Structure 1
Amino acid sequence: MADTEYGAASAIPDPWTLPLETFDVSKAEIFQNDMQGEYFRRLRQEAPVHYCPESSVGAYWSVTKYHDIIAVDSNHKTFSSEPSIVIGDPSDNFQPPMFIAMDPPLHDIQRKVAQPAVAPTQLSELEDLIRQRVSTILDSLPVGEEFNWVDKVSIELTTQMLATLFDFPFEDRHKLPFWSDVATTSDAVGIVGTDMEWRMKHLNECVAYFTQLWRQRAAEPRKFDFISLLAHSDDTKHMVDNPIELLGNLMLLIVGGNDTTRNSISGGVYFLNKFPEEYDKLRADPSLIPNMVSEIIRYQTPLAHMRRVATEDTELGGQKIRKGDKVVMWYVSGNRDEEVIDDADTFRIDRANARRHLSFGFGIHRCMGNRVAEMQLRILWEEILRRFDRVEVTGEPTRVLSNFVLGYEKLPVILHPKATA
């Protein structure tokens, strides 16, 4: 548990006792202790579009209801993604450009270049490879003894998938999740006291490694990995000459490919143990897996928020938002909006319209790797059910300190094999 401002769960205030005028849901400790539910429930009920005048990340608006979030996310002219998608601004003013934090037309141009790496035709070719890798990982796990699921399964599987999407040297693949964690460790997501010198050292190592890879790909025939696509397109081939822009887009693609899937892989195991009747349903009917995958992604909401900046005076939910105001869409709240999602706080693998969630965003910035994430989770659970009767969670998870990434550091489990005939 966190040992910072709020510390352990017992030190986090009851949100219903706090004055609404200064209500601040940006504190990373709230999320690390998994206590955001009641904070957002109060905002949805009493102030769905809420202004926080002062916080460690500055003043900001919270948008907490499903339809209001869609209204913001689908209106990039009024609500700009520039210069950043996270709630805070970096204390050192280091803010590398990346296409998710751009508006059209530049956003559309750069996204279109990278998109073929995760196109449906590519995914169908990758399915057999993913299944082989999932099988190898699961067959290597200890049965009947406790281990950390995050480390041995969630990180390892997403790392192997990332290495494939980048065509990254397989023997160095563990650099990718490390760089992802470095990229998402900053005061801009509520982690106070980050060693920025340490952070920059490792981000510079990331740029140097990928610059060398880029030069190699540029000299070879075009392939369908991210680096080759970017290196061969007239619109992006000069990105390698601008290390800051290269780093920004590397951070986007690495974090995007890592955090969503990695934390949904951990979350799914935790939720099935928290709702054992759902695990029983799954064992009785494995055809529920694709629908369950969508429910896992809704219930986990791997990225808690995205931020926008108002480009003009506007109105939302009866509130007057001024030009230049920071507007934060809390996907983690929209995914629990009782007015749109029935019994939203219950994990239900056979939920109707399970794909009607906000975890991938909405509009032009909708996650382009959403099908990759869904496919990895589907294949993983198909192979888990073939091998194990149950993945038993043996203790509460240790969560990441962040108001952006809703993730896990540890999830202790024991595997129970299927009974042999």
Structure 2
Amino acid sequence: MDSATATSGSPPKTRSLVGRDPWTTPLDEIDLAHPGIWQANEFLPFLDRLRRDDPVHYCAHSAVGPYWSVMKYQDIMAVEANTAVFSSEPTIGIVDVLPEYTLPMFIAMDPPKHDEQRKTVQGVVAPANLKNLEGLIRRRVCTILDNLPLDEEFNWVDRVSRELTTQMLATLFDFPFEDRHKLTYWSDVATAIPGAGLIDSYEESLVILKECLSYFSRLWQERASKPPGNDLISMLAHGPATRNMPPMEFLGNLILLIVGGNDTTRNSISGGVLALNENPDEYQKLRDNPALIPSMVSEIVRWQTPLAYMRRTATQDSELGGKTIRKGDKVLLWYASANRDEDAIEHADRFWIDRPRVRQHLSFGTGIHRCMGNRLAEMQLRILWEEILPRFHKVEVTGEPKRIYSSFVKGYTELPVRLIK
């Protein structure tokens, strides 16, 4: 979503923290928003350093302008609760927007408009609908797993993580199944950084996303002419708060629902396999007691923290952690740091699948913007592992994962694995 609501042109490059000592780097040189340390998987010590030495940290110089970093669990909870002072508008990404690139979406809105638009689509993940989806998810999981090669290396991200979440997105939108891979392509474009491989500029991103708008506009017209259905497009087309949205607001909410509906789950599916391989005692604990799957799913989501931060913008001068935040300042809430905060989470640096209070984490956010699809994400992960365990002794990671070049989306492009019966 950073690039979907971004300024024109590519931002200037700043010095990466890759390879630098997090404990001796001057505080004023720590720029967490630079994607380098995230792709290199060197971010955790820098989060530790700021939690210890400067938990409300000001970065004066970055490619995207100055910003605050909020590192501690309780401080983030306080900011999230104070929507009057810390606004979600105009964007939840760090890049400031120009009007021609603005994609309004309800996650980047404040009440009451946020509440009205979110309520319109919330029914798609209501308990009754999730119950109806469970059998379909299980059938699709079984088909995916039964078609995987044995004793042969393959990319888990493509064959499992991406495929399962793409199929579920198509179902939630009632999107033509044969075109389902367009959904994750648009999701990747929306969160891509220009020059990092997928797109060259924000202009190119917007051209591609307007193709998304054109495709969905045809679906919108079809659904609007029929009685209300139970899919996301029908809900938007018939909802009083959304049926008269201007095109760019429709596109913004589409991107929100597409990214939210696949990125968190996709990267947690991959991250969970990696975490279990890095913690073989926990993997054995899971094999010995499959009843731990629901608890393990929550721990995977905390451990992975698929979205590293959310941005808020100060609407007035305020104080946090003894620092004065000025009106208009960018404030990044680092969920990836809060989920490793020992003051809030016991043994936070341990992957512990049966930990007490396992659901106490901020991977889904909190407050009015808490991820509305969190139960669907957890259900997909639960069903996947319920079907993996009886089929395979181990999903063995056979090489280094390749991570996304982003400080916002904590994800993977490749995870080489081999299945062992």
TM-score, normalised on structure 2? 0.94
Aligned to 1:66: 73
The SS at the match of 2:120 is: helix
Aligned to 1:185: 192
Tell me if 1:24 matches 2:31.
yes
Tell me if 1:158 matches 2:165.
yes
Aligned to 1:378: 382
How far does residue 21 in structure 1 lie from its aligned partner after superposition? 2.6
1:271-313 deviation per Cα after TM superposition (whole angstroms, max 9, x unaligned): 0000000000000000000000000000000000000011111
Given candidates 286, 289, 294, the residue that maps to 2:293 is 289
Given candidates 203, 206, 211, the residue that maps to 1:200 is 206
Q: In structure 1, what is the Cα distance between the partners aligned to 2:407 and 2:86?
A: 21
Aligned to 2:244: 238
The one-letter code sitting in structure 1 at the alignment partner of 2:393 is D
Summarize the Cα distance change of 1:299–1:201 in structure 2 as closer, same or farther, 3 Å threshold: same
Question: 1:14-413 residue pairs with structure 2 within 5 A?
Answer: 14-90=21-97, 94-186=101-193, 194-239=200-245, 242-413=246-417
How far does residue 192 in structure 1 lie from its aligned partner after superposition? 11
The one-letter code sitting in structure 2 at the alignment partner of 1:276 is P
Summarize the Cα distance change of 1:136–1:191 in structure 2 as closer, same or farther, 3 Å threshold: closer
Structure 1, unmatched stretches of 5+, are none
The SS at the match of 2:101 is: coil
The one-letter code sitting in structure 1 at the alignment partner of 2:20 is P
Q: In structure 2, what is the Cα distance between the partners aligned to 1:304 and 1:102?
A: 20
Summarize the Cα distance change of 1:192–1:20 in structure 2 as closer, same or farther, 3 Å threshold: farther
Q: In structure 2, what is the Cα distance between the partners aligned to 1:163 and 1:211?
A: 16
Aligned to 2:3: none
Whether contact under 8 Å (1:303, 1:406) holds in the other structure is: yes
Aligned to 2:6: none
Whether contact under 8 Å (1:86, 1:307) holds in the other structure is: yes
Q: In structure 2, what is the Cα distance between the partners aligned to 1:78 and 1:285?
A: 46
The one-letter code sitting in structure 2 at the alignment partner of 1:158 is T
Whether contact under 8 Å (2:189, 2:199) holds in the other structure is: no
Whether contact under 8 Å (1:90, 1:186) holds in the other structure is: no
1:58-79 deviation per Cα after TM superposition (whole angstroms, max 9, x unaligned): 1101000000011111111110
Q: In structure 2, what is the Cα distance between the partners aligned to 1:6 and 1:386?
A: 48
Q: In structure 2, what is the Cα distance between the partners aligned to 1:324 and 1:91?
A: 15
- How many residues matched? 409
The one-letter code sitting in structure 2 at the alignment partner of 1:346 is R
The one-letter code sitting in structure 1 at the alignment partner of 2:264 is T
Whether contact under 8 Å (2:101, 2:206) holds in the other structure is: no
The SS at the match of 1:267 is: helix
Q: In structure 2, what is the Cα distance between the partners aligned to 1:164 and 1:238?
A: 24
The one-letter code sitting in structure 1 at the alignment partner of 2:46 is Y
The one-letter code sitting in structure 2 at the alignment partner of 1:349 is I
Whether contact under 8 Å (2:142, 2:387) holds in the other structure is: yes
The one-letter code sitting in structure 2 at the alignment partner of 1:386 is P
Q: In structure 2, what is the Cα distance between the partners aligned to 1:319 and 1:274?
A: 38
Q: In structure 2, what is the Cα distance between the partners aligned to 1:233 and 1:91?
A: 29
The SS at the match of 1:254 is: helix
How far does residue 190 in structure 1 lie from its aligned partner after superposition? 9.1
How far does residue 345 in structure 1 lie from its aligned partner after superposition? 1.2
Q: In structure 1, what is the Cα distance between the partners aligned to 2:78 and 2:334?
A: 13
The one-letter code sitting in structure 2 at the alignment partner of 1:170 is F
Quick check: 189-198 or 82-91, which moved more? 189-198
Q: In structure 2, what is the Cα distance between the partners aligned to 1:247 and 1:225?
A: 16
Q: In structure 2, what is the Cα distance between the partners aligned to 1:59 and 1:286?
A: 47
The one-letter code sitting in structure 1 at the alignment partner of 2:280 is P
How far does residue 90 in structure 1 lie from its aligned partner after superposition? 4.7
The one-letter code sitting in structure 2 at the alignment partner of 1:339 is D
How far does residue 346 in structure 1 lie from its aligned partner after superposition? 1.2
Summarize the Cα distance change of 1:404–1:37 in structure 2 as closer, same or farther, 3 Å threshold: same
Structure 2, unmatched stretches of 5+, are 1-12
TM-score, normalised on structure 1? 0.94
Summarize the Cα distance change of 1:192–1:203 in structure 2 as closer, same or farther, 3 Å threshold: closer
Quick check: 281-290 or 229-238, which moved more? 229-238
Q: In structure 1, what is the Cα distance between the partners aligned to 2:37 and 2:99?
A: 25
How far does residue 385 in structure 1 lie from its aligned partner after superposition? 0.5
Summarize the Cα distance change of 1:103–1:190 in structure 2 as closer, same or farther, 3 Å threshold: farther
How far does residue 124 in structure 1 lie from its aligned partner after superposition? 0.3
How far does residue 95 in structure 1 lie from its aligned partner after superposition? 2.1
Q: CA RMSD in A?
A: 1.8
| Percent of residue pairs identical | 61
